[in-house]
Structure 1
Amino acid sequence: MTIDILMFMLQYFKWLPKLATLAVSTKLDESLLAEKICMNAISTFDSTRQRFGTNIYELYRSDNAQLVDIVFIHGLKGSVFRTWREKNFIDETEQTLCWPRDWLPKDINAPCRILAIDYTTSLVHFAGVTETLAVRSQRISKQLRSAGVGDRPLMFICHSMATPHRGSPVANYASFALRPTNDLRILHHQNEINKDLHRDFLNIAEEIPVICSVAELEKVPLPFRQKEFLVPVESAYFEYGPIYHIKDVSNQF
């Protein structure tokens, strides 16, 4: 055993009681971070194990060998710690801070693993260099591969502004922002990058067994007393598979 590994083990076991406490914390960010630290620490001793990068969190793993991976992707201004929480709940029931973690495994009969991608976005660029979509995608793609994504059948679930195939009306208001970010500009209906991505996806769509779309039917307030769908039907619906309309539900930032 090398000195580096020995020192790591000493530090890891020193922090183990604290990590164990955080892993059962009622705060979602504390529990997910503690679990990830422990899993990555274990992978240090076994090169065949998956490793979870900065942007990847494991929400659930069945005890039996997993047959499918389900990956959740939030949208603009979202977060793995906020997007999937229950907003409307009954007082006498316990509120879930992450329904893919607490509810979804109960509805899936097959052994599975549920992951979530977390990344930072903003509407207005204040200072410094902002990360492009291409750079962010390449980094997250590498992290997904390190986490073992691709070794089994895969399903992506994309929420709100992680979905628009043909842009979003909210990007039309970007001109009213002082310095809109690239994340907002790319969602404009006429953005060429968005169009290219859509065309590229069309080329591989027939190879994907199931594509299902869900569209909102409630408009949300926007600047200047306007109301719009964050993701209108024509942008929520891909050109393959069924589409479902959900009443009394709207996307929020």
Structure 2
Amino acid sequence: MSEAHHWHDYQYRIIAQACDPRTLIGLARSKESDLRFFLPPPPLPSLKEDSSTEEELRHLLASLPQTELDECLQYFTSLALSESSQSLAAQKIPSHCDHIEAGGGLQLLQRLYQLHKDCPKVQRNVMRIIGNMALNEHLHPAIVHSGWVSLMAEALKSSHIMEASHAARTLANLDRETVGEKYQDGVYVLHPQCRTSQPIKADVLFIHGLMGAAFKTWRQHDSQRALTESAVVDEDRYTTCWPKTWLAKDCPSLRIISVEYDTSLSDWRARCPMERKSIAFRSNELLSKLRAAGVGDRPMIWISHSMGGLLVKKMLLEASKKPELNALINNTRGIIFYSVPHHGSRLAEYSVNIRYLLFPSLEVKELSKDSPALKTLQDDFLEFAKDKNFQVLNFVETQPTFIGSMIKLHVVPVESADLGIGDLIPVDVNHLNICKPKTKDAFLYQRTLQFICETLARDLEN
């Protein structure tokens, strides 16, 4: 049905009215499906007298139970008066999803989504909440009945990668017919985002670093953008996320996943004042999410930038201690490190006179050259990686980076990026651009692609 594009409108409406939830979700996840297959969401219930969408959302948020919450979730809940959608997005407890649905949250969020068509950030936060709720299979009928599948089908076709990726995550979590994995908060599949007959033979995981994000870290070097808003985007020349466009096209049999997690340079700017999450804490949290997404079931390559590489090392070491994660270790074929401070960074030293780093976050402190935890991690991982014979490729910047407007710093010097195994390649860029190729033909991308293809050669051939 997804290949039908020449029917009359009434024929699409007849099919749309007859579709069961399974067929509807399948059509939404099919790349070529006509949007006329999807009925408009049902009319939203009227708001209470003298009330607004924001007020009803605040009331709903205030009604959520506060038991079983860690300090940060309590903090976010307390911000309901100013950022209702952000606070709701932070809720990860299944019982909260039930309360949101029972309190009419699916309809309230849809009203908020429709009211803010000119504010993509609000819409993304709303989609993030729906994606989290879709992790609970007993809520699937309510999500479908409230019309969210139609909205997600439209968002999936968006040219904006963040909107499309949020929609893809939600629909994958709803699709229990062809998807066995569950994509938890912050885990995004960049390819394939739709149902496909292309067999997936291996996984490539992208883990960003300090102050990074699942999409923006892996964009093209910004200075190369020579496009106006009205120009047609040629993805071979410019992309906002090269793993999704360039890599997916060059290696279509890969599943490409990008992970997002909160980080902070300073406790002044921490998203939650109570949040002091160590590399060890984050690695266990991400490892659990990745296992839920089926990471480890196929051959795989890890690609990391800056502190993300330390998380990869910690995750692999933690996985090696758990017999149930043997497959993840055995299926790891290689790792690419983009300017990872294996031996520490001078970033942690700039905390005395620089207001921005006046109270460096725990993440920054763990990057200091004299950090015992960092030295132990390096020593343990080097021995482990040699024993497992992982293929390794290290890139490192040679130019300094502006930190705020006050200091210019060589964040990761060559000696710190030297893991002790694998090629070490200096590149004439700064710390932020070490993972942002200027063009598809640029050395940074082509050498990365070569490593992936060579390391997975046997797996991709089978």
Q: Taking structure 2 as the reference length, what is the TM-score of the superposition?
A: 0.50
Q: Does 1:131 align with 2:274?
A: no
Supply the AA of the counterpart residue of 2:258. A
Higher strand share: 1
- Once the two structures are overlaid, the 10-residue window that deviates more, 173-182 or 207-216, is 173-182
> Percent of counterpart pairs with the same letter?
30
Say which of 135, 138, 150 aligns to 2:296: 150
Which of 41, 55, 59 aligns to 2:174? It is: 41
Relative to 1, partners in 2 of residues 1:182 and 1:74: Cα closer, same or farther, differing over 3 Å? same
Equivalent residues of 2:392, 2:423 under 8 A apart: yes
Query: Per-residue deviation at 1:201?
Result: 0.6
* Alpha-carbon distance between aligned partners in 1 of 2:349 and 2:373, rounded to the nearest angstrom: 16
What pairs with 1:49-60 in structure 2 (closer than 5 Å)?
49-60=180-191
Displacement of 1:53: 1.0
Tell me what 1:73 maps to: 207
User: 1:165 and 1:104 mapped to 2: Cα distance?
Assistant: 27
Output the CA distance in 2 between the equivalents of 1:241 and 1:5. 44
CA drift of 1:112 comes to 1.1
CA distance in 2, matches of 1:6, 1:251: 45
Report the equivalent of 2:247: 104
Classify 1:7/1:132 alpha carbon distance in 2 versus 1 (closer, same or farther; 3 Å): closer
Q: Post-superposition shift, 1:167?
A: 1.1
* Distance in 2 of aligned mates of 1:182 and 1:7: 37
Distance 1:210 1:5 in 2: 39
Tell me the matched-pair count.
246
Q: Which amino acid aligns with 1:12?
A: V
Match of 1:169 among 329, 338, 346: 346
Aligned counterpart, 2:45: none
Shift of 1:63: 4.0
Which ranges in structure 2 are unaligned for 5 or more consecutive residues? 1-135, 309-339, 434-462
Relative distance call for 1:37 and 1:168 in structure 2 (3 A) is same
Task: Look up the match of 1:240.
Answer: 421
Greater displacement, 159-168 / 95-104 = 159-168
Aligned 8 A contact 2:206 2:257 in 1: yes
Max Rg structure: 2
Q: Once superposed, what is the RMSD of the aligned Cα atoms?
A: 2.4
- Determine helix, strand or coil for the equivalent of 2:218: coil
Letter in 2 for 1:55: G
In the alignment, is the contact (CA less than 8 A) between 1:174 and 1:184 conserved in 2?
A: no
Contact 1:160-1:230 within 8 A present in 2 as well:
no
1:174 touches 1:185 (CA, 8 Å); kept in 2?
no
**Unpaired segments ≥5 residues, structure 1:** none
- Of 144, 157, 177, the residue aligned with 1:12 is 144
Aligned partner of 1:120 among 253, 258, 262: 262
AA aligned to 2:155 is: L
Q: 1:173 to 1:17 in 2, by over 3 A?
A: same
How big is the shift at 1:228? 2.8
2:348·2:360 contact (CA, 8 Å) conserved in 1?
no
In 2, the alpha carbon distance for the partners of 1:205 and 1:26 equals 40
Going from structure 1 to structure 2, the CA distance change for 1:5 and 1:194 (only over 3 Å counts) comes to closer
